[in-house]
């Protein structure tokens, strides 16, 4: 029996950005000189999560706050992030198309097909009994919950000691004949125990034993969570011990708690370059009064992903002319719009992106242009400016809501020299992905029981 209090986790943040879901000025002012410092190297300093705070809180922070890699400068960090992002998008496209693959050193067992790229945001969770605190990546586009485990035949470097199931009084292995094992795609068997393998889009993977274990979030204890205990792991998870899958499938953390939470959860992603932490909330408290709600769209070919009904795009208060079907999910499972915490940059079908970009360029013709950077083809040299006036960018959703983004969520600095780029890119297929840069600082809430995603009503 999973135990869960009526509240679960919540933390509100105060950010100096503006957000509206209905009326909004057609232009915003972006303060060039007040952007976060860009030349600070990331050297591996671990944030202090043991400071006194509300014990019902589960904090989120961006991976760039603690990295095992030292970046030479902001330009180096950006290119590393865009390489991860490109791998992530390619993996999502393979997943939805039904393509599966495995790598040679996976051995002769099975691959689950959960081939997503490693994520961008981390939480602190206690694993086992007594709980051992571990950093875990959150991922709304995959379902598996797992941590690296002893004995570790192959492990990447993590910031905390590797979890040892022999020291946990609540660890229970899952047998091959268990119904839980049957829920793992292409599950395997070894010495009577259920085995799993997951490969991610950037070449990362985890392989090990499926178990039931206790997870602790502050004072909240959740028992009998089906979790992977990874004995062979490789990848770009930086200092994290594993991954907390928040996808729409039955094996995700959200799916396993459906009876207790109704599939309700929400998050606020911390803005880049700030010292703030974001939040992750489970349960009905994640559904704020006054939010604007958009229907979720189900794709049977990809049940882990959260699809939304996007109907149009706007620049400066003007809706961009696009075919009515530009963002539709077809009956064969192609196209559509996915919201994803692990993808950084929003991707749009090529024709829609070109019209959107050209609409933005036409309203920023007074700003000096710069050469493209990485995956960005529309950039500006703002090195000589204190502030600039830019048109607003809006998403038009089905059933009426309009989400107008804060300026920093669509025009982002890409180096230390004042170069800013339009933070969108073209998708090689009809699939659109709303990435985490566009979601930063906005309350995002999922009501799985009723099939809605909500925005707002406040910044966070």
Query: Using CA of residue 162, residue 165, residue 168, residue 172, what is the dihedral sign?
Result: positive
Name 395's bridge partners. Answer: 313, 403
Of 85, 115, 340, 447, the active-site residue reads 340
Distances (CA, A) of 38 to 2, 237, 343: 44, 23, 21
Gap between the Cα atoms of 439 and 267, Å rounded:
10
Helix (H, G, I), strand (E, B) or coil at 123: strand
Nearest residue to 303 via CA among 455, 433, 114: 114
Dist CA 327 CA 396 (whole Å): 11
Q: Is residue 64 flagged as an active site residue?
A: no
Which residues have CB under 8 Å from 143's CB, separation 6+? 114, 245, 247, 248, 249, 250, 251, 252, 255, 304
DSSP string, 360-413: HHHTTTTSPEE--BTTB--EEE-TT-SEEEEE-EEEEETTS-EEEPPGGGTEEE
The rounded distance, in Å, linking the Cα atoms of 230 and 34 is 43
If residue 225 lies in a helix (H) or strand (E), which one and from where to where?
strand 220-234
Cβ-count burial 3-38 (b if 16+ within 10 Å, e if not): ebeeebbbbebebebebbbeebeeebebebeebeeb
340 is catalytic: yes
Per the document, the length of the chain is 460
Closest CA to 295 of 329, 250, 255: 329
Q: Which residues pair with 137 in a beta bridge?
A: 122, 243
Closest CA to 83 of 201, 220, 241: 201
d(CA 83, CA 90): 11
Report the C-alpha gap between 325 and 322 in whole angstroms: 8
Beta-strand relationship, 132-139 and 242-245: parallel
- In angstroms, rounded to a whole number, what is the distance separating the alpha carbons of residues 346 and 89? 10
- Write down the catalytic residue from 85, 139, 202, 415: 139
Catalytic site residues? 139, 340
């Amino acid at each position: 029996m999973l135990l869960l209090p009526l509240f679960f986790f919540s933390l509100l943040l105060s950010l100096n950005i503006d957000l509206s879901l209905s009326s909004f000025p057609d232009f915003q002012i972006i303060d060039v000189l007040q952007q976060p410092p860009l030349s600070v190297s990331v050297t591996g300093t671990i944030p202090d999560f043991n400071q006194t705070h509300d014990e019902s809180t589960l904090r989120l922070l961006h991976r760039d706050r603690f990295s095992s890699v030292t970046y030479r400068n902001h330009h180096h960090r950006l290119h590393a992030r865009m390489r991860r992002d490109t791998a992530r998008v390619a993996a999502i496209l393979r997943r939805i198309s039904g393509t599966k693959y495995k790598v040679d050193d996976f051995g002769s067992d099975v691959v689950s097909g959960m081939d997503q790229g490693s994520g961008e945001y981390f939480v602190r969770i206690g694993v086992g009994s007594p709980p051992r605190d571990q950093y875990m990546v959150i991922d709304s586009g995959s379902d598996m919950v797992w941590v690296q485990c002893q004995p570790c035949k192959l492990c990447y470097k993590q910031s905390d000691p590797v979890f040892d199931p022999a020291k946990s009084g609540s660890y229970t292995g899952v047998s091959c004949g268990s119904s839980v094992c049957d829920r793992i795609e292409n599950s395997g068997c070894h010495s009577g125990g259920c085995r799993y393998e997951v490969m991610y889009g950037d070449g990362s993977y985890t392989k090990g034993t499926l178990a039931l274990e206790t997870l602790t979030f502050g004072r909240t204890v959740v028992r009998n969570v089906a979790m992977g205990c990874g004995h062979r792991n490789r990848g770009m998870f930086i200092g994290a011990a594993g991954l907390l899958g928040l996808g729409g499938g039955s094996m995700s953390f959200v799916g396993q708690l459906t009876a207790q939470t109704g599939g309700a959860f929400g998050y606020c992603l911390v803005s880049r370059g700030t010292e703030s932490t974001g939040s992750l909330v489970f349960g009905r408290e994640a559904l704020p009064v006054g939010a604007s709600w958009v229907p979720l769209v189900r794709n049977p070919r990809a049940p882990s992903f959260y699809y939304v009904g996007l109907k149009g795009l706007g620049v400066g208060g003007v809706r961009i002319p696009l075919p009515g079907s530009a963002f539709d999910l077809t009956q064969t499972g192609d196209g559509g719009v996915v919201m994803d915490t692990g993808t950084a940059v929003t991707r749009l079908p090529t024709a829609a992106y070109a019209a959107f970009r050209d609409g933005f360029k036409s309203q920023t013709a007074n700003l000096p242009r710069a050469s493209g950077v990485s995956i960005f083809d529309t950039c500006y040299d703002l090195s000589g400016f204190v502030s600039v006036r830019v048109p607003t960018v809006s998403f038009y959703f089905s059933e009426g809501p309009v989400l107008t983004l804060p300026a920093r969520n669509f025009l982002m600095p890409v180096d230390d020299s004042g170069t800013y780029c339009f933070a969108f890119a073209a998708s090689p297929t009809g699939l659109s992905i709303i990435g985490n840069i566009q979601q930063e600082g906005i309350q995002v809430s999922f009501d799985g029981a009723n099939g809605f995603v909500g925005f707002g009503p406040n910044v966070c």
